[in-house]
Amino acid sequence: MVTATIGEWSLAFPDDWVVKAQDEKVTYVEAPDGSLGLYLKAIVAGDSDGGAKGLATHVQGVYEQTYRSMEDSHWEVTGRQTTGNEPFLKSVVELRDRPARYRIRSIVACGDMEGIQVSLHNYYCENFEVPDGVFSEIEGSISRNADAA
C-alpha cells in the first residue's frame, strides 16, 4: 500500500494504482484495469458553527445531491454511517446506480474546520450485495496524523 497525506490526514491505497490527475483541489488515482478509482480532496470550512458533524453532513449532502440530480441516472443512497466523536469523526455514504452498475463510497474524515473527502468509485460493480474489499481497506487506513495540532 502507498500512503498519501493531505493536511492533517493520511490514507493508503494499493501500490499498483496510478495517479491519473492532480491539481490543487483534487487528486484522482485509478486501479490498473480502470475498474476502480479514488478521488481525494481537502475540505476547509468557512466557519465551525456545526462542528465536525455539521461539516461532514454538509459535504456529504452536497455530494449526494450532485449525483441524485444527474439526468438519466438512478442514484440511490444505500447506506450511511458516522463513527467517532467531536471534535473528529468519519462519515460514510454509500451510493449506487444499479442500472449503470456503478457504486460509490464517499468518506469524509474531519474536525470542525478541516478534513478530507475520499470518494471511491467502482465503475463496473458486478454484485452490489458484496462489499468492495479494497474500499474497506482504504477506508480503514484513513487516519489523522499523530503530530497534527
Between the alpha carbon of residue 38 and those of residues 88, 116, 148, the distances in Å are 22, 12, 24
**CA 53 to chain CA mean position, Å:** 16
Do residues 19 and 27 lie in contact, with contact meaning Cβ atoms separated by under 8 Å? yes
How many domains does one find in the chain? 1
Residues 75-101 have pLDDT tens digits of 999 999 999 888 889 999 999 999 999
Residues 95-133 have pLDDT tens digits of 999 999 999 999 999 988 899 999 999 999 988 876 678
Domain that holds residue 106: 38-131
Residue 72 covered by a domain? yes
Residue 6 covered by a domain? no
Residue 59 covered by a domain? yes
